[in-house]
């Protein structure tokens, strides 16, 4: 099992560019989420999905888009990058969010200049 | 409102000293509590789940519903415990099953 795999690990974007952060899991987990981690802010939920074809907004969804066409994949799209989106992004998956917690990917460190 | 509060941004102790990382929560419902650990520039790892009542790497945490707390404790800190620790909660109520994180406490264990 690879667990949760995120690509790329590092990315530099110019303001206004768009890109997709990839996330894949091989554990057949129904639940997947995207978080951003900023110093002093902890982790904040961007978007989440409770199964293929179902997504919903988290705490900080503006400027991001997601889709869940398969159980395995949950890409995060930045529509028009802004410096405020400079952050570390973590994807996570869970088979049972309440009792078992989440498995996290290794993160994508994004810098927007 | 759902909230997790970790009052200490930084906790510094000497090797062999006891450690207590504080976590308080507010939640409309019956939450499940977790502790996650993040070593330098690595992914978050699940350290403890309230529901399992286990001890991992010498750490324990007890849920106190009266004080709405879930403090993480270890009797004798080791240098390898230096990391960022996040308290988090989940539940069927306001969080809709998603994890709500505190802002984290950085633990530094000095030799």
Q: What is the pLDDT of residue B95?
A: 60
Residue A15 scores a pLDDT above 80: yes
Instruction: Report the sign of the C-alpha dihedral through residues A88, B43, A61, A30, in that order.
Output: positive
Q: What is the pLDDT of residue B78?
A: 97
Q: What is the pLDDT of residue A55?
A: 93
Whether omega for the bond prior to residue B84 falls within 30 degrees of 0, making it cis, is no
**CB burial readout A2-34, b (16+ within 10 A) else e:** eebebeeeebebeeeeeeebebbbeeebbbbbb
CB–CB contact A33 B98 (8 Å): yes
A29 contacts in chain B (CB < 8 Å): none
B101–chain A Cβ distance below 8 A for any pair: yes
A74–chain B Cβ distance below 8 A for any pair: no
Residue B77 scores a pLDDT above 60: yes
A23 close to A76: Cβ distance less than 8 angstroms: yes
What is the C-alpha separation between B26 and B32, in angstroms, rounded? Answer: 12
CB–CB contact B44 A41 (8 Å): no
Q: Which of A72-86, B22-36, B67-81 has the lowest mean pLDDT?
A: B22-36
In a 3-state reduction of DSSP, which class is residue A48? strand
In a 3-state reduction of DSSP, which class is residue B80? helix
A61–chain B Cβ distance below 8 A for any pair: no
> In the beta sheet, which residues pair with residue A7?
A22
Q: What is the pLDDT of residue B20?
A: 97
Where residue B52 falls among pLDDT bands split at 50, 70, 90? confident
Residue A10 scores a pLDDT above 80: yes
Please indicate whether residue A1 or residue B15 has the higher confidence score (pLDDT): B15
Tokens of B94: 């306001």
A3's CB contacts (< 8 A; 6+ apart) are A25, A26, A27, A103, A105
What is the C-alpha separation between B23 and B16, in angstroms, rounded? Answer: 22
Percent of chain B surpassing pLDDT 90: 62
Q: What is the pLDDT of residue A1?
A: 67
Write the pLDDT tens digit of every residue in A26-84. 999 999 999 999 988 899 999 999 999 999 999 999 999 999 999 999 999 999 999 99
A6's CB contacts (< 8 A; 6+ apart) are A21, A22, A23, A89, A90, A91, A105, A106, A107, A108
Mean local confidence (pLDDT), B22-33: 88
What is the C-alpha separation between A108 and B105, in angstroms, rounded? Answer: 22
Mean residue pLDDT of chain B comes to 90
What is the C-alpha separation between B19 and A110, in angstroms, rounded? Answer: 34
CB–CB contact A97 B86 (8 Å): no
Q: What is the dihedral of CA A104, B49, A59, A67, to 10 degrees?
A: 40
Mean local confidence (pLDDT), A14-19: 97
Q: What is the pLDDT of residue B92?
A: 66
């Amino acid at each position: 099992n690879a667990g949760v795999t995120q690509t790329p690990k590092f990315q530099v974007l110019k303001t206004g560019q768009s890109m997709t952060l990839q996330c894949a899991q091989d554990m057949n987990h129904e639940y997947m989420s995207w978080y951003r981690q900023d110093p002093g802010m902890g982790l904040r939920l961007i978007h989440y999905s409770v199964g293929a074809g179902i997504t919903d907004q988290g705490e900080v969804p503006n400027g991001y888009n997601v889709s869940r066409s398969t159980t395995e994949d949950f890409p995060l799209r930045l529509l028009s990058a802004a410096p405020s989106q400079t952050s570390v992004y973590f994807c996570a998956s869970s088979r049972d969010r309440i009792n078992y917690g989440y498995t996290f990917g290794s993160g994508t460190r994004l810098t927007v200049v | 409102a759902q909230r997790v509060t970790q009052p200490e941004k930084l906790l510094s102790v000497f090797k062999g000293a006891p450690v207590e990382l504080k976590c308080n929560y507010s939640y409309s419902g019956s939450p499940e509590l977790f502790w996650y650990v993040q070593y330098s520039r690595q992914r978050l790892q699940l350290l403890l789940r309230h529901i399992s009542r286990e001890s991992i790497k010498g750490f324990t945490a007890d849920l106190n519903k009266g004080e709405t707390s879930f403090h993480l404790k270890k009797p004798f800190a080791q240098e390898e415990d230096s990391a960022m620790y996040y308290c988090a909660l989940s539940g069927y109520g306001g969080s809709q099953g998603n994890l709500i994180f505190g802002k984290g406490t950085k633990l530094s264990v000095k030799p």
